[in-house]
Amino acid sequence: MSRPIIYITRKIPSSIIKPYEDRFHFRMWTEDDTPVPKDILWKECKHADGMISMLTENLNREFLRSHPHIQIIANNAVGYDNIDIDIARKQQTVVTNTPDVLTETTADLTFALLMVTARRIIEAHQVIENDEWKQWSPYFLAGTDVYDQTIGIVGMGRIGEAVARRAKGFNMKILYHNRFRNEAKEEVLQAEYTEFNELLQRADFVVSLVPLTAETFHLFDAEAFQKMKRSAIFINASRGQVVDEHALYNALKDKQIHAAGLDVFAEEPIRRNHPLRTLKNAVCLPHIGSASMQTRTNMLKLCVENIDGYFYGDGPKTAVTPLR
């Protein structure tokens, strides 16, 4: 057979695709750090048999319906809310994601964001940057304890579990809420399953790790923030759209909750004038959950392995839709 054409929507290191070049004809968008423009994406995909996509590509109904010849989409992320998965299923386009390889790295960032927000580390760094350090004083930059506090994890998938393991090391009490209760996990992690509302009421740290679906869209709304403690810190390392950002802004501004640490936003990238950027009690990061050199390389390798497995092997390793 002639080599399948694979379109890669972002510039990735050639070392990742080199071992596969005799089996595939790779084409790639080669401009550094910018998403491929829609017209070029559509043009390139006209003749593609497969693609490696990023979460910046909106592979919606219109795109999928127009490209039924694309047999496999290897999305370089664990989340795949950028793809209309129902349409993909219906027309039997295989979609794969990158679970497992990014679990520990993303849990590290989630816990780091929790600590940075609790202990006001960004503000503290800014004090040094701005040369504003005067004298030691009793409550100067005093934050919130992490150890011994109660963490409430919403979305107890692999990343949620890995965050729970870290929390255990800080002697935290662990509450979780998930679509499915997992009693085996509760035992190992000493985690307590609670209803969503009870978790909001009891947790000192509410951590969102839910995937974005129709059910989780705006899960954290005004009502949810009202239920949280006034001392609560909200952490989001999943998807921006699980939060009603307007409600979060009001909750932070009115001190209904204490602070928030956010790695993700409803519309990315955010700019300086984004309302959440104007608040002192919100720590904002540019969607770097899985961003370590090792993990980002492993994610891309897994994408290529999925494509190779589909065309030449026993099928993709990590498919989220059934095979054709």
Q: Which residues does the annotation mark as catalytic?
A: 239, 268, 287
Question: Going along the chain, which residue ranges are E strands?
Answer: 5-8, 25-28, 50-53, 72-75, 94-96, 150-154, 173-177, 191-193, 205-208, 233-236, 259-262, 282-284
Task: Report d(CA 85, CA 200) in Å as an integer.
Answer: 30
Quick check: 243 binds ligand GLV (CB under 6 A)?
Answer: no
Question: x/- contact string, 176-215, with ligand GLV (CB under 6 A)?
Answer: ---------------------------------x-x----
Stretch 244-283: interaction string toward ligand GLV, x if CB under 6 A: ----------------------------------------
The CB-nearest residue to ligand GLV is 157
Characterize the bridge pairing of strands 25-28 and 5-8. Answer: parallel
Q: Quick check: 99 binds ligand GLV (CB under 6 A)?
A: yes
Q: Is 173 in the site for ligand GLV (CB under 6 A)?
A: no
Q: Which of 18, 12, 14 has its CA nearest to residue 308? A: 18
Which residues lie below 8 Å from residue 20, measured CB to CB, with a gap of 6+?
26, 304, 307, 308
Rg (C-alpha) for the chain, rounded Å, is 21
Q: How far is the CB of 155 from ligand GLV (least distance, A)?
A: 6
Residues 112, 157, 194, 266: which binds ligand GLV (CB under 6 A)? 157
Among 152, 240, 289, 309, binds ligand GLV (CB under 6 A): 289
List the structure tokens of 54.
């990023």
Residues binding ligand GLV (CB under 6 A)? 55, 77-79, 99, 102, 157-160, 209, 211, 289-290
